[in-house]
Structure 1
Amino acid sequence: MLTNMAAACTRSLLKVGWTMLDSPAIRRPGTIAYLYRRAYGTWCSGETGGRSRLLSSLRGGGSRALGCAFLLGGGLGLYHTVKFYWVQQHLAQEHPKESDRGVRLTLYQYKTCPFCSKVRAFLDYHGLAYEIVEVNPVMRQEIKWSTYRKVPILMVDEDVQLNDSSVIVSSLKTYLASKEKNMADILRCYPEMKSVNEGGKEVMEYNNKYWLMLSEADTALVYPEKGMQKEEMKWRKWADDWLVHLISPNVYRTTGEALASFDYIVREGKFGSLEGFFAKYVGAAAMFIIAKRLKSRHNLQDDVRQDLYKAVNDWVAAIGKTRKFMGGDCPNLADLAVFGVLRVMEGLQAFDDMMANTKVKHWYRRMETATQNHQGRH
């Protein structure tokens, strides 16, 4: 719709410009007003003062200058219309409205959230088409319709709501592997359960969230070797319970790193100008303090980088020297979870330090290729 409006406006500008340059009658009183009304239908309200000044300026040779201006405006409009249309077409090819299995997926997220990144890694690897709704982390108006107030949220066909990153991934993997169950039935296998955390706060948990709900035959296809399923579940849980808690203390380790991190968050997130300014400086200060508390809560070392390095090297050691991925020749759900968590540090000092001081680089680059090329599509 926006493309059509821009194209129509461009055509009008070009038409007016050429007419003004070619017509000898252009200097007659009222002609410009007529052309403008013809192009746009009517004068904009509140613009009558501007109209009289415009007409006065056209006496003498001003009409030709204005004609050139209309042509310039039309040319620029045509350029941006074509560019916008190309971008739309490119994005439509990259993320078509409907996935290969005929379901429509909409992901509500914060781009820099590690749990959201986990879900995107899964969707990209399996070549599932999805739309993204970036949620404003302050107002969260985009998810005001939901009683569940966290992200990620994945809507399936606009009527089935999946919450919690691990539930989303397990449900979708079950759906892809079973080829017979619908999403509503699968979701019933992951019931909600309220509990109280260490701080005395009531939280929502989900039973079975690391399990795939498959038949024996389908399970054998997904996990052809003994112990594969157990190993995958163990490391998926490790990514949620340990690895993710190392991110904040490392990216907000110093005031400089905190500011750099929030500069990235504001650029990538859905913030207004004023809101972004306050988010950057107030948020950076707040997260620097929170990172120190997290460091204490999780008993991290004074140099939190060492905990990150150890965790990442433990992960690489678990994969071993004979496998490309924990899943063997192809990534499994644990690979995708760890990759999704680590990926949110890209562009920050913590990421560069991790790549330089651990053995994760080769595995990480293989994961990048696998997700970018949608290698799990088939």
Structure 2
Amino acid sequence: MYSLLFLVLLLYVNFVLHPKKKKEKNALLALHCGSLRKPVMAAACTRALGKLGGAFLRASVVHRSATASYLLGNGFRRAYCSRGTGLRSKLLSARSGGGRLLGCAFLLGGGLGWYQAVKVSVQQHMAEDKQDPEGALKLVLYQYKTCPFCSKVRAFLDYHGAAYEIVEVNPVMRQEIKWSTYRKVPILMVNGELQLNDSSVIISSLKTLFLSKDKSLTDIIHCYPEMKSVNDRGREVTEYNNKYWLMLSEAETAALYPQKGMQKEEMKWRQWADDWLVHLISPNVYRTTGEALASFDYIVREGKFGTVEGFFAKYVGAAAMYIISKRLKSRHNLQDDVRQDLYKAVNEWVAAIGRDRKFMGGSQPNLADLAVFGVLRVMEGLQAFQDMMDNTKVKHWYRRMERAALNHEGRA
């Protein structure tokens, strides 16, 4: 009964007391039918509650006043009671004490309603401002399709369900990144303003952003300072401090790594993927002249080459990389049969995961899983990849990783 009375009162105040605003309210509700629908409706209801409460209070005061009695008998009755013995006349006939109590109740309800409306509105605006992996960030990845470091970044973004654009860079002219002083790939542009370099820095900074509640990406990237140095061959190289660390609070770190040693294990194998596994790719995919030609056929087909440029890239590039792969084999002290080094590395990785875990991260992939998967994935379709799948124990883990990335299982 009381619920029915309240509904009638609310409809009466909205559509009888303020009939001129009916169209305005309907338009407002239609305009905000998306994310702001609930705050607007809550605000409308609370305004009605407040006005109704005020009406009850005024009614109780007027009922006790002689002057109000005169007004009720003449002008007030002419203005408001011409509709007959309607709801308002019943309200004004309420006892003064009950009217004050009911009025205060409605005013209190209106105040609480305003609080909830403001609270919901603020939360929605904060959610819109928070940059997350579901698409609030505008990500553009400059890459080579067959680059293992670029593949690492794609594996991370795919697994987390992040929307991103790809700009395939011509590996000869590199016109697509001529605007950048950093001449390597991958490069990730965020919202058209912030440039992230180095695959491990890109992954660590984005993962920190996805997990942290109080950091912006601009603040996070400052935690990975750029360091320039000269390597043992006399070439200037750019390195980044802390690139395997996530910049999280103690509570966030404990939630991500619930077991002792998980964080160090992840960092160790992420670095292993960069410093060792990636250097096994070229010597294996360019191991023979036939494999070198097949690899460059794939590179030209997937990359950004013109017809003439692609022809020369395939044959000249294949010959050059066949020679370079021999030098890489010597530099990294690989065996004559470089397949054996690949098999050994992959089996070492599988042994580190163990039999009791689906992934190194446990039931879900961690950043080490994504890094190793990204590096190995660039060999798909080549003889080296098929040999690896046939002669190691990596197949089941690799297929699980494929499904996890394809289904965006890391989406928040």
Band of TM-score, shorter chain = 0.7 to 0.9
2:217 pairs, out of 170, 183, 195, with 183
Q: Contact conserved, 1:119 with 1:165, CA < 8 A, in 2?
A: yes
Q: What's the counterpart of residue 249 of structure 1?
A: 283
Q: What's the counterpart of residue 107 of structure 1?
A: 141
Q: What's the counterpart of residue 14 of structure 1?
A: none
Alignment deviations for residues 92-133 of structure 1 (CA, whole Å, 9 cap, x no partner) = xxxxxx952511000000000000000000000000000000
Are 1:377 and 2:406 matched, yes or no?
A: no
Are 1:126 and 2:160 matched, yes or no?
A: yes
Alpha-carbon distance between aligned partners in 1 of 2:327 and 2:135, rounded to the nearest angstrom: 45
Q: What's the counterpart of residue 4 of structure 2?
A: none
Are 1:171 and 2:202 matched, yes or no?
A: no
C-alpha deviation, 1:222, in angstroms: 1.1
Specify the code of the residue in structure 1 equivalent to 2:255: L
SS class of match (2:166) = strand
Are 1:201 and 2:235 matched, yes or no?
A: yes
Are 1:279 and 2:313 matched, yes or no?
A: yes
* Structure 1: gaps (5+ residues): 1-97
Alpha-carbon distance between aligned partners in 1 of 2:170 and 2:385, rounded to the nearest angstrom: 25
SS class of match (1:271) = coil
Q: Contact conserved, 2:133 with 2:411, CA < 8 A, in 1?
A: no
Q: Contact conserved, 1:111 with 1:117, CA < 8 A, in 2?
A: yes
SS class of match (2:317) = helix
Alpha-carbon distance between aligned partners in 2 of 1:365 and 1:287, rounded to the nearest angstrom: 29
Are 1:314 and 2:314 matched, yes or no?
A: no
| TM-score (structure 2 length as normaliser) | 0.68
Q: Contact conserved, 2:145 with 2:303, CA < 8 A, in 1?
A: yes
Aligned sequence identity (%): 83
C-alpha deviation, 1:211, in angstroms: 0.2
Alpha-carbon distance between aligned partners in 2 of 1:179 and 1:139, rounded to the nearest angstrom: 41
2:376 pairs, out of 337, 342, 350, with 342
Specify the code of the residue in structure 1 equivalent to 2:325: A
* Structure 2: gaps (5+ residues): 1-131
Specify the code of the residue in structure 2 equivalent to 1:156: V
Q: Contact conserved, 2:152 with 2:374, CA < 8 A, in 1?
A: yes
Q: Contact conserved, 1:99 with 1:130, CA < 8 A, in 2?
A: no
Q: Contact conserved, 2:133 with 2:210, CA < 8 A, in 1?
A: no
Q: What's the counterpart of residue 212 of structure 1?
A: 246
Are 1:360 and 2:404 matched, yes or no?
A: no
| TM-score (structure 1 length as normaliser) | 0.74
Give the number of aligned pairs. Answer: 281
1:325 pairs, out of 351, 359, 362, with 359
CA RMSD, 1 decimal: 0.9
Specify the code of the residue in structure 2 equivalent to 1:361: K
Larger Rg: 2
SS class of match (1:170) = helix
SS class of match (2:274) = helix
Alpha-carbon distance between aligned partners in 1 of 2:367 and 2:133, rounded to the nearest angstrom: 20
Alpha-carbon distance between aligned partners in 1 of 2:345 and 2:309, rounded to the nearest angstrom: 35
Alignment deviations for residues 214-261 of structure 1 (CA, whole Å, 9 cap, x no partner) = 000110111111100000000000000000000000000000000000
Alpha-carbon distance between aligned partners in 1 of 2:285 and 2:147, rounded to the nearest angstrom: 13
Alignment deviations for residues 290-316 of structure 1 (CA, whole Å, 9 cap, x no partner) = 000000000000000000000000000
Specify the code of the residue in structure 2 equivalent to 1:132: I
Q: Contact conserved, 2:134 with 2:411, CA < 8 A, in 1?
A: no
Specify the code of the residue in structure 1 equivalent to 2:238: M
